[in-house]
Structure 1
């Protein structure tokens, strides 16, 4: 049998499992809150793995190994920033956000939390946040469609558009059917695939080398990939890298505080106290996956320098992981390993579809129809999943540098627009709705303008000025306006409920609300 037969079999089995999980989740999705947030019933294991898998995308298995293969360890600054950001997000944001979103009228989306947290009655805060989410995530979804098409094209030699339709349709199907639970449960499987692939591929390639110790020296003085005589500064993290670049790469970690599809996992936990266990799961998963990507690059410098094999992608060298997987394993096993890349693409895209759908229905539609029934909300949410996917597919038909360029700084856009507001919502009692609106608008606009000007974006990553200016705007406007009545009291109830829940991890969170949150918080 041909190699393609085994690859196709592995993909079909994977797709079948994803759809089966979708139907399983559908049976547990009885009401609108289930579809959007899983009725706040996510276990720490599922939340931790789901947050990691939906965050990483194909960059972890293709972009990062390729960058490290070409440029060397100077690319590690972004990894450090992201790892610290992951830990900090779970440590300082997750417990408080889980508690406060329930205290603040049981908010089930980030825009609705901002509105309820500040007691905004104008609806402008919720509207502004929803528009930012819809704008950036629509292009993100399109990027996922493009990645799916390219994956299908490079793996099977198939038609790009067929890949867009196949990958997009399967992702839409299980998201449409099972909502948040389907997205979270499939993320666990996808995260597991990514984990196993990033551990086994570099290990198998390492065992195939004549001298495994070469991985720590080969790249500096031997030809490989783009280097005809080696890269003498391969292991030097600061060679040729400016201080501004290092700061900008480390600042990627700031983006986590404003990522809607990450913080939604915090909101879905059963209790704030479970954030600690979820943090351990997520940070261990991320750490080992990063190490796998790093060692994939290190091993590849030796393997493709010594063996009679070459990297398929001779431009960005982003296929080093895929090429090693094809060489090391039987086609069926290689197919299963290669589904890890597809899993990374689909896990991110499904989360983006659901968050965008929620923003359209929960945060825009409900502005104009405040009391729709749950059946209507469920139907509309599922319809919006399809609608957003169709827009993403349409944009992916002829992908342009402009669309893909927007995706490049969407991380900064979310980090600058939402990050300061999320932190202030949880830790600054004085935050007001006008201050939050000002911060979001200034953050998003700064990132958009800064990232569009080559001279500025080349100087420092746009998230740095975005977060600074957004924070300043938020603080200044908040100090010039007054918080609404009851905001300070609710802030204290949420903080007390969080502290009580963390001190009494064995008690259900409803007990923490009764004991420290006040009757009005239940």
Structure 2
């Protein structure tokens, strides 16, 4: 097995691209200041996203730092090629659900999911959900830092810890700049660069390591189980690798904000379907990168470094482009989730503390929250052993604590205030308790928290139906 060797020459390509992102952020920040843009511009990009930007920003949000360092990348590294390839199931299911819900999401005309929940379940539901969503969002931000830390480490050799701190500062600065207009535009830049860079780099990578025959023969010799369908996992664990992301996406505030921010229903659906189609390229390619990386580097690198390590084997320009896009993905995903959490704090919580606040005051509070939450995300990062562990924890809290109530509010007329609030409390509470107790019986948290939260929603709602006249 080989050791990961830093490639300083690729750093120049990464720096050039990151400077382009910072320049874009500065441009929109200046533009926002000149136009004196308000809350709607900051959080919803003035509700004017076009089709190309809609595809780009939704794609980058979906295939962000989680795809680069966790998700299908880590699954392919840990459990074999098939586990990574089948990560494509997630966008097919979740984007289809969001396409179906798009008209209702736009009708809600809400800045946040918590606002949407308030219309169905009341003000308490808005407060409870805002806290759950902000917790999940900030946790998701945390592993974006580590993702970029891996990238900078691969190009500089500087310890990952210091690289992660640099990423923390960069993500916070960009999120503070121009709101969703900045994030959506830089998302689109990153998404299209990522698709192109990964696709061009894969055949070069295969040739560099000795051909696909070498990859398969190495797997057969070192870990033959990685070539099987389940890769040594049980069916339950295999499904558990995909379910948290599917449930998160179906009610993720980031997608709801982008759906509302699109010019119209058709534009929003083009963004969602474009993302689904692009994932048919990205997910298999990422899985191949990670699987090749496992055969080449073995256990000398962490699963989160798989794609990044493989990129260092490519020629300088191609490898630099892949790493640039990966870096940009982690940054823009971090921006998106910080911005989304700030929307929860400002619109759902601060507005109750100070109902007479002006838009200018709300934006100041939002930016202050972004700074504080960005630092808290770094602290959260120190408590988890791997990127995949943070993903499952944050996705499960959101998927069990929020998704049943949100989908119920949108499509089930019999859902009641008591049912929705009970579902959120039980789903979130069970997620935290089950994880804290070490997943008793070896049962993944999602298989406990989500079904019970869904049952609570249905049972309590049916038991508290208003009496007919």
Confirm or deny a common fold (TM above 0.5): yes
Change (3 A) 1:139 1:239: closer
- Pairing 1:17–2:20 present: yes
Post-superposition CA distance 1:282-317 (Å, at most 9, x none):
11121110121133245557xx5xxxxx42852545
Structure 1 residues 245 and 80, CA gap change in structure 2 (3 angstroms): farther
Q: Tell whether the 8 Å contact from 1:54 to 1:347 is kept in structure 2 after alignment.
A: yes
Question: Displacement, 1:126?
Answer: 0.9
Residue 58 of structure 2: which of 31, 40, 51 is its match?
51
Counterpart of 1:314 (choices 300, 303, 313) is 300
Within a 5 Å distance, the mapping from 1:493-512 to structure 2 comes to none
SS at match of 2:356: coil
1:190 aligns with 2:173: no
8 Å contact kept, 1:450–1:457: no
Cα distance change of structure 1 residues 315 and 211 upon mapping to structure 2, 3 Å threshold = closer
- Per-residue Cα deviation, 1:305-334 (whole angstroms, up to 9, x for no partner): xxxxx428525455443333222212x442
Q: Which has the larger radius of gyration?
A: 1
Is it true that 1:360 corresponds to 2:345 in the alignment? yes
2:276 is equivalent to residue 264 of structure 1: no
Query: Who is 1:476 aligned against?
Result: 459
Residue 61 of structure 1: SS of its match in structure 2? Answer: helix
Alignment of 1:101-112 (within 5 A): 101-102=108-109, 107-112=110-115
Q: C-alpha separation between the residues in 2 aligned to 1:283 and 1:369?
A: 41
Cα gap change, 1:196/1:230 in structure 2, threshold over 3 Å: closer, same or farther? same
SS of equivalent residue, structure 2 residue 170: helix
1:442 is aligned to 2:426: yes
Q: d(CA) in 2 for partners of 1:34 and 1:276?
A: 21
Q: 88, 96, 104: which is aligned to 1:96?
A: 104
Tell me whether 1:465 sits opposite 2:456 in the alignment. Answer: no
Q: 1:322 to 1:445 in 2, by over 3 A?
A: same
The alpha carbon displacement at 1:395 in A equals 4.6
Spell out the pairing of 1:299-448 with structure 2 (5 A cutoff): 299=292, 310-311=296-297, 314=300, 316=302, 318-330=304-316, 332-396=317-381, 398-401=382-385, 405-448=389-432
- Give RMSD over aligned pairs: 2.9
- 1:294 corresponds to which residue? 287
Q: Counterparts of 2:435 and 2:189 in 1: how far apart (Å)?
A: 35
Alpha-carbon contact 1:194-1:340 (below 8 Å) kept:
yes
- Which segments of 5 or more consecutive residues in structure 1 lack a partner in the other structure? 305-309, 486-522
- Cα contact 2:258–2:268 (8 A) shared by 1: no
1:248 paired to 2:216 = no
TM-score, normalised by the number of residues in structure 2:
0.87
Q: Does 1:167 align with 2:167?
A: yes
Closer/same/farther in 2, CA of residues 469 and 294 from structure 1, 3 Å limit = same
Gaps of 5+ in 2: 1-5
2:3 maps to none
Q: CA offset at residue 483 of structure 1? A: 6.8
1:115 is matched with: 118
